Chains A and B, each alone.
Chain A
Amino acid sequence: NAGVTQTPKFRILKIGQSMTLQCTQDMNHNYMYWYRQDPGMGLKLIYYSVGAGITDKGEVPNGYNVSRSTTEDFPLRLELAAPSQTSVYFCASSYVRDGRQYFGPGTRLTVT
């Protein structure tokens, strides 16, 4: 049981490039989330999903897109990367009606 996995672990992008951060969970959780964490700022919710085919915006969605075609996968797409998107990105998942979220190991992204 791998839990929540994320790829890649690290990435450097040039301004204007695009990329997809991958997230997969094998716990059959319905709910999945994407956060970004900037130094000293806690975690900010970007997007979340309550099941396959259903996604919604979080606190800081601008510049990102998501899709949820299966229960297991919840990729995060960055279009036209900007330096403000330099951050550590965490994916998480949870059971319905259980607030505990289980986090992946994170992706450290630098945009230069």
Chain B
Amino acid sequence: EDKVVQSPLSLVVHEGDTVTLNCSYEVTNFRSLLWYKQEKKAPTFLFMLTSSGIEKKSGRLSSILDKKELFSILNITATQTGDSAIYLCAVEALYGNNRLAFGKGNQVVVIP
């Protein structure tokens, strides 16, 4: 069974801080790892990672994958209150019909 473990489950930071979220996984025949952001509604796609060591970046958010050590990191720099959300990590296996196994999420609260 595919397994995704995220840490920390919850954190509170001040605006301007940098946040590092961790996602470790176990999956047979890994295909990709995805990060989603969930505010008080549907998850929205952030990144898909398939190769080790290649950083994906979007504004103040960036993510990297380590396929040898089976983990990914999502970084948020210069945090803003709008970054308050649950960040979900999911993994996809080959031949899995695009099914995703999700972790419990990292709840981030950014206070002014």
Contact = CB atoms under 8 A, between A and B. Distances in A.
Interface stretch (B39-47, B53-61, B66-74): B39-47
Contacts of B21: none
A74 interface: no
Contacts of A100: 34, 45, 48
Contacts of B99: 33, 45, 48, 58
Contacts of B32: 99
A43 B43 CA distance: 10
Contact of B88 (A33, A42, A94, A104): A42
B19 interface: no
Nearest to A105: B42
Given A50-B97, A100-B34, A42 B105 contact: yes
B13 interface: no
Interface in B54-98: 88, 90, 92, 97-98
B97 A99 contact: no
A106 B90 CA distance: 18
Contacts of B105: 40, 42
Interface in A75-101: 90, 94, 96-101
Contacts of B104: 40-42
A99 B98 contact: yes
B110 interface: no
Interface string B99-112: 11111110000000
Given A31-B97, A48-B97, A102 B102 contact: no
Given A42-B103, A42-B104, A99-B31, A106 B42 contact: yes
Interface of B: 4, 9, 31-32, 34, 41-45, 48, 88, 90, 92, 97-105
